[in-house]
Amino acid sequence: MLTFFKKKEQESDEKIRAHVFVSGRVQGVFFRESCRKKALSLGVSGWVKNLKDGRVEAVFEGEKGSVEKMVNWCRKGPIWAKVDSFDLIWEDYKSEFSGFETRYDI
């Protein structure tokens, strides 16, 4: 039984990285700010930004369960958004970020 708890603990400590692109009505609807707040509440690090073509791009790093929650949140976004398309790329975890930020480099 002790082994079961160790295995469960190890699974929850797994770190992953997701790179997402979201299109639809996702700019001008507080998508980035809502995303930042959600990521901070889940302890996920990374960034989110608007793209010139109207999409939102984001990278999430952290514990597997928390990153998966962020990915699922992005499939709908905040109440004012309408997500038409969602692309997800699983990448190698890099431990690259110390927090979560909104980027403004378009």
Cβ-count burial 72-99 (b if 16+ within 10 Å, e if not)? ebbeebbeebebeebeeeeeeeeeebee
The segments of the chain whose pLDDT lies below 50 read 1-3, 5-10
The rounded distance, in Å, linking the Cα atoms of 25 and 15 is 31
Among 43, 50, 49, CA closest to 99: 43
The rounded distance, in Å, linking the Cα atoms of 46 and 31 is 15
Which of these CATH numbers, 3.40.190.120, 3.40.50.720, 3.30.70.100, 3.40.50.80, describes 14-92?
Answer: 3.30.70.100
User: Count of alpha carbons within 13 Å of 70, Cβ hemisphere only?
Assistant: 37
- The catalytic site residues sit at 32, 50
pLDDT at position 106 is 57
pLDDT at position 11 is 53
> Can you give the pTM of this predicted structure?
0.87
